Amino acid sequence: MSELAPPRRKPAEDPPHGRLTARPHPPVAPAPAGLRSIIGPDGELLAMVYAPEPATDGTAYRLVLLLHGAGGSARQGLDLLRPVADAHHLLLVAPQAAASSWDLIAGGFGVDVRRIDGLLTSTFDGYPVRDVTFGGFSDGASYALSLGLANGDLVDAVLAFSPGFAAPPVTHGRPRIFISHGVDDRVLPIDVCSRRLVPHLHSLGYDVTFEEFPGGHELPTPVRGSAITWLTPRP
């Protein structure tokens, strides 16, 4: 799918319109810095979390939710920004999709929204957070856009690396958006994806920064650098 695709019908028990209830709040059970795996009751990996050491001046983190591509892993999601997390004080949270890709791709918001909402709540319980960003690659980028635009009252920025579409059932707020895409992408061709999606988002009033690059379905290091400069500009 490309552009702002219409959402499909969801079962009644799914989270309404992909809305998240988690909100930053003072930590109630401080969690340690470093890399952690979140394991479910059946032993399955639910997510990976990386927290840099606390800032000496007490500055809270920018939390970045990172969503892997189809058939990918929480580790691959985390690795999207792991190389720059310490330098920019980014608290990285990378969920594992319940299936091979995210619930919206299979037909509607559901189990992954519930998992993400619980994961965010538990992360806010453990770390001081001042800003929230959603990001992802490929299907994860499409999901970050869709869920981020539906929760713009929580999310202030979205990083979408090689997305295919955005399908928010509802929209709240106006998060700023960074989109990158390779001109030779043969998985999600740029002409039918980002080159249509970006103008459409502009027409809806979103502040979108778009970077095309010579390459395929990937996140090159220079593009990561552009994204992080856009996300955390130095004074």
pLDDT digits (tens, 9 = 90+) for 176-207: 999 999 999 999 999 999 999 999 999 999 99
- Mean per-residue pLDDT for 27-44? 93
CATH number of 16-231: 3.40.50.1820
Question: What is the pTM (predicted TM-score) of this model?
Answer: 0.92
107: Cβ contacts below 8 Å, ≥ 6 apart: 8, 10
Q: Which of 156, 166, 203, 198 is nearest to 181 (CA)?
A: 198
Q: How confident is the model at residue 107 (pLDDT cuts 50, 70, 90)?
A: confident
Q: Reply yes or no on whether the pLDDT at 175 is more than 60.
A: yes
- Mean per-residue pLDDT for 59-78? 97
Please tell me the predicted confidence (pLDDT) of residue 233.
77
Q: Which two tokens stand for residue 2?
A: 């490309």
Domain boundaries, the chain: 16-231
